[in-house]
Amino acid sequence: MKRNAFSRYGKTPLRVAGLMFFSVLWLLDATGQTRVRGRWTEQQAASWYAKQHWPVGANFLPSTAINQLEMFRAESFDTVTIHREFMYARTLGMNTMRVYLHDLLYLHDRDGFFKRLDILLGLAEKQGIKLLLTIFDSCWDPYPRWGIQPAPRPHVHNSGWVQSPGVQALKDTAGYHRLETYVKDLLRRFGNDNRILAWDVWNEPDNRNIPSYDKLELPDKVAYVLPLLKKVFEWARAVNPAQPLTSGIWAGNNWSEAHLRPIDKLQLEQSDIITFHSYDQPELFEKKIRWLQRFNRPLICTEYMARPNGSTFESFLPIAKKYRVGMINWGFVAGKSQTIYAWDSWTKTYDAEPELWFHDIFRKDGTPYRKAEVDFIRKITAQ
């Protein structure tokens, strides 16, 4: 746990006052206005990445949680399962886990949420793992609800995952100060924590979730998301976190300059490091890397690995290692998220475990879905 900032200086009024004075000076520019740090330079980003081990890991949700809320709520925060599953990650040589947060956790239980996030970071640190924390997310159910979360719909991929902010908060532009308070308070508390690798400020911000929730989405969702995403970067930078900020480009199969959408350009222009998603064939994955190399910044693929699509560990990790691209696959231990089932489980009926898992690596007891697969991961992370 981080010590109080005053603990090294003693508690005399003079020393405390002096520390506060110099802290305020550092945060103000010559005009007396609060100074917001700019986007990292290419050199700053490269220097940061040079100090990191090759980031390899998974998007992490404990097998006993259906979504971000159940993961962190006091009644369902399952440290036993989290500890065990982080140990599974360590056996693979994984050093990074991407974890999703939620604004409702802050709204309803700020102190408890921060306490449990600190515990999570401690559990990860014990296994040599850093967390990439995702603040907002536009995927799946646009109507998140506080309280006990629903049971999974049988055989349906991510049947209980919820968006943050939900559609009601997204369209309430007059209420964005609540989201601003959440972002700034979160980063003031954890923005200098070396157990955190980076901040993903918003996952797939313009995702319309077709066909699962498209009818419940705002018809002009991107018109709300685009200006709010810019504000989120500004809010985060106002706190001046030590870790890099990013939002991953995700849609489309051509990321050359002529084919970028306005939201793609905003994500790329605002990110200190470049993150992206790829559930494609390996040839397109490598092509996407080459397109993104023009930005001269570290690259981390924060979502990949959908076996039926040809996006696998064996096909992607050697390419990523060649370019030193960080890799974070979707899914880890099969559980309540049910991501062993494909995206098409929203429209196609499954009545048993699929022969070919879509995502995930382990069963709950730690048995690998494919032994040869985990052997390969261990080998490449050890090299």
The answer to whether the CB of 93 falls within 8 A of the CB of 128 is: no
Whether the CB-CB separation of 228 and 138 falls below 8 Å is answered with: no
Q: Are 119 and 135 part of one and the same domain? A: yes
Query: At residue 269, does pLDDT exceed 80?
Result: yes
Q: Considering the entire predicted model, what is its pTM?
A: 0.91
Q: Are residues 31 and 138 in the same domain?
A: no
Tell me what the pLDDT averaged over the chain comes to.
Answer: 92
The answer on 97 and 6 residing in a single domain is: no
Q: Could you give the 3-state DSSP secondary structure of residue 133?
A: strand
CATH number assigned to the domain comprising residue 191:
3.20.20.80
C-alpha R_g of the chain? 21
Q: How far apart are CA 359 and CA 330, in angstroms?
A: 6
H-run or E-run covering 327: strand 326-329
Residue range(s) defining the domain that contains residue 10: 1-35
pLDDT at residue 35, rounded to an integer: 63
DSSP H or E run through 16: helix 13-27
Identify whether residues 16 and 102 lie together within a single domain.
no
Residue 188, pLDDT above cutoff 60: yes
Neighbours of 91 (CB within 10 A): 14
Same domain, 88 and 5: no
pLDDT digits (tens, 9 = 90+) for 8-31: 333 333 333 333 333 333 344 444
pLDDT of res. 30: 45
| CB contact at 8 A, 204 and 151 | no
Query: Same domain for 80 and 26?
Result: no
| Residue 256: per-residue pLDDT | 96
Asked if 193 and 121 count as a contact pair (C-beta separation under 8 A), the reply is: yes
146 & 100 share domain: yes
91/121 same-domain check: yes
pLDDT for residue 8? 30
On whether both 333 and 350 belong to a single domain, the answer is yes
Reported as half-sphere exposure (CB side, CA atoms, 13 A), residue 297 has a value of 22
Query: Is residue 316 a contact partner of residue 325, using CB atoms and an 8 Å limit?
Result: no
Report how many domains make up the chain: 2
Regarding whether 98 and 3 lie in a shared domain, the answer is no
Sign of CA dihedral 66, 68, 71, 75: negative
Which value, to the nearest 10 degrees, does the dihedral of the CA atoms of residues 332, 335, 341, 342 take? Answer: -50
Shared domain for 61 and 11, answered yes or no, is no
Q: What is the pLDDT of residues 351-377, one digit of tens each?
A: 999 999 999 999 999 999 999 999 999
Same domain membership, residue 253 and residue 272: yes
187 near 232, Cβ under 8 Å?
Answer: no
Who's near 290: CB < 8 A, 6+ residues apart?
none
Considering the chain, what percentage of its residues have pLDDT values greater than 70? 91
Q: Is residue 6 over pLDDT 70?
A: no
